Amino acid sequence: MADQVGPRHIPTAGAGPLVDLHDLAIEAERRLDPDHWDFFAGGAGDERTLRANEAAFDGYRILPRVLRGGGARDLRTGLLGDELALPVLVAPTAFHRLAHPDGEVACARAVAAAGTVMVVSMAATTSIEAVAAATDEDGRRARLWFQLYPQPDLGFTESVVRRAEAAGCRALVVSVDSPVFGWRWRDLRNGFLDLPPGLCCENMRDPATGRVRDIVMDARLDWHRIDWLRGITRLPVVLKGILHPADARLAVEHGADAVLVSNHGGRQLDGAPASIDALPAVVDAVRGRIPVLLDGGVRRGTDVLTALALGAAAVGVGRPVVWGLATRGETGVRQVLEWLRADLDRAMTLTGAVRPADLTPDLVRPGPPR
């Protein structure tokens, strides 16, 4: 039957095809330098939050509707004035060129082909200008958002914002959960403290001197800095790292255009809740005034479906994109996004939904205790 055709497999050098993103992670670990694998895969402290991000999805059950006769699905999603082909974004992850020589450029080409958004990390190993110039084989450019750690030097921060604007970025994603770096014990054990020669954080290059600055985490970061940022740019501002509903309400009051429920992939505060567990309270606090996004632990189409049903407008994926990049470069990233699209499409069909707006809270129930 034609309906039995699934997403294209991702071939590997091993015995068989990759059939899910966990297989992809195994292949990526095989290919990556062990220290680099630990950097990408690891989290803060004992990695409780890292593990919880994925495990928490097992705490929800999908209650499908039947006999709805919806026909073909339409995964298009409106977000901050754009129409995306699917409600899955590429979340910001640092140092793509550790995974593949083409790095962020390969990722941007894959995102252009998929018709979604790439959030370019401030810690990218390719400049925002070069990422923005990348096109897929059909000449399309990716929609880009830019992830920002506001720096204590406001003049330099503004110069980075201006670069992102000039490159055509359509939103700023401000990481608000990083007043200090989380202690990532894998990196400390490995002595992985800096990039190898030839790589650097290109978006931290000082326009006045050409020197590449270090990213400074600023413990003084507060709502006044968000107000300042809101005042210097017309780009939509997304606050990434919101877990507490009170902060979600404050985000609305301070003019945020969206919030992203995230615990930084378990890389900052170990013991913080899984993103999916924090999502419902944030959605309730926002009360539909701005979109709520989510990242952390999304590995299946049913994970995407669960998040959308609980009120997320879209989800971000980070580590799976790196696994695809490490495995097959641009092609690997394209296949990750296609796999998630196809898996979500099938899950929606089995749930009785035609479009993302059909995914409502009544379709999700708490499962057995974890």
**Could you list the active site residues?**
264
φ, ψ for residue 293, nearest 5 deg? -110, 170
- What token pair was written down for 140? 């399309």
φ, ψ for residue 159, nearest 5 deg? -65, -35
Distance CA 312, CA 291 (A): 7
* Phi-psi domain of 247 (left: phi exceeds 0; alpha: psi -120 through 50; beta: other): alpha
> What is the residue-wise DSSP string for 47-84?
-HHHHHHHHGGGGEEE----S----S----EEETTEEE
91 contacts: CB under 8 Å, gap ≥ 6: 119, 262, 265, 295, 316, 317, 318, 321
